[in-house]
Amino acid sequence: MIRVDIETIIMAAGPVPSIIVLRERSAEGASDAPLRALSIQTGSFEAAAVGRGVDGTGEGSRPITHDLMVDVIKSLGGKLERVEIDRVDAPVFYATVVLEDADGGEKHIDARPSDALALAVRTNAPIYVEDDVMNRAGNISYRTEDDTEKELERFDEFARSVSPDDF
């Protein structure tokens, strides 16, 4: 299993699918090989649910389904241990939510990847992708932390150069 993080959520409208991009974590002392990424297509509502969990905006006056599920797991003495994207039958991905029950045993529950990811981001549970799935459906992620810093610097420079007259 490969530990991944949510790199990007691309929201789409209408019949076009949204995309959740998972990127392999770089391990300390790892080789210079580029990291891999996995793009999972999903509906806009599902992508928004994951995004609300990432942003921490999922908690409103009333719990949505994923918040409710987290509350149910906790109230039963359980814990979300991890999420595994463990199979692909293109274009469909399959996931497993691994729960620790009150007795310390593990329960494996079949889930849609979008639901599993929405639960993981709300509980800070680690996300894993089966190596075979990453090899078959993944691609190379050339984005690095330096790229992110450079992108932020370019945006900051742009923001400083913009005046109200530009609009």
* Among 73, 77, 66, 88, CA closest to 135: 88
Average pLDDT over every residue of 132-155: 75
pLDDT-based confidence at 59, cuts 50/70/90?
low
SS3 of residue 99 by DSSP: strand
Could you tell me if 116 and 83 are in contact, meaning their C-beta atoms sit under 8 angstroms apart?
yes
128, pLDDT greater than 70 = yes
Across 5-14, 30-39, 44-53, 81-90, least confident range: 30-39
DSSP 28-53: TT--SPPEEEEEEEE-HHHHHHHHHH
Residue with tokens 């639901």: 115
Predicted TM-score (pTM) of the model is 0.78
* Among 31, 27, 53, 24, CA closest to 133: 24
Going from N- to C-terminal start, the domains of the chain cover 2-166
Q: What is the pLDDT of residue 45?
A: 87
Q: How far is CA 12 from CA 16, 17, 60, 121, 137, in A?
A: 6, 6, 23, 20, 21
Could you tell me if 51 and 7 are in contact, meaning their C-beta atoms sit under 8 angstroms apart?
no
Average pLDDT over every residue of 137-153: 70
pLDDT-based confidence at 108, cuts 50/70/90?
very high
Domain at 2-166, CATH homologous superfamily: Bifunctional nuclease domain (3.10.690.10)
